[in-house]
A = this chain, B = another copy of it.
Amino acid sequence: MKKAVVLLSGGVDSAVTLFMAMREYECTALVFDYGQKARGELISAQELARAAGVRISLIKIDLPRWGCALLDSEVEIPKGEDVSADGKVPETYVPARNMIFLSFAVSLAETEGARAVFIGAHQLDYSNYPDCRTEFFESFNNMIKVGTKAAAGSQPIRIITPVIDMTKKEIVEQGARLGVPFEYTWSCYDGEKTPCGECESCLFRVAAFKEAGVKDPALKNRD
């Protein structure tokens, strides 16, 4: 079976992406501990990988201050919708985060002989994050072709974004079809045991499950 590396954050999008990738690939889940305030994400990512029966590779990054609401304890996480209609980049944007995560994933893929890297980005709901758009991933793939060992001969490593053009509702529907254990997923931008219910990400989740007509199960293993 072909091998793939799947970026797993512990959220709904990456969980569904993992289960989509598993239909065709032997997957390794790549999880980052980069000091995110949402410690619940990290627990979820590991629970999900265990539930899915895939190997997990955890990378710890000790960063100096990164100037973003998701990391900085002095910046408050915005309540409600942070993705503004005027095209501004949201406060929850972490500078070059996907670039960093994908680079590590490519490194792991190269080491393990995997030729695919999956990421659960989707550009409809997050169109103002520059590193969630199709053109970014295409450009990243071009860069991989000239910058890795595989470029010398065999097939290059490729970034694959299976949910990029889905709405959050469609992602939830797809997850329900594939039997994704949503009880282990975490969406909140903050905290560890109980989602705040007020941040952009919590609001998106509630709306998506409602629109999809899927019951959002209670969070498991958080006591």
Contacts and interface: CB of A to CB of B under 8 A. Distances in A.
B152 A89 contact: yes
A60 B60 CA distance: 8
A99 B107 contact: yes
Nearest to A96: B107
Interface string A38-63: 00000000000000000001111111
Nearest to A99: B103
B61 A59 contact: yes
The quantity of this chain's copies bound in the complex is: 2
Given A66-B111, A143-B142, A96 B148 contact: yes
A119 B66 CA distance: 21
Interface stretch (A6-14, A131-139, A183-191, A196-204): A131-139
Contact of A111 (B95, B104, B143): B95
Interface residues of A, number: 46
Interface string A83-109: 000010100011111111011101110
A149 interface: yes
A178 interface: no
A99 B156 CA distance: 15
Interface of A: 57-67, 87, 89, 93-100, 102-104, 106-108, 110-111, 130-131, 133, 135-136, 139-140, 142-149, 151-152
Given A95-B110, A96-B110, 19 more contacts: A59-B61, A60-B62, A61-B61, A61-B62, A64-B108, A67-B111, A89-B149, A89-B152, A93-B149, A94-B107, A95-B111, A96-B106, A96-B147, A96-B148, A136-B147, A139-B142, A139-B143, A139-B145, A140-B147
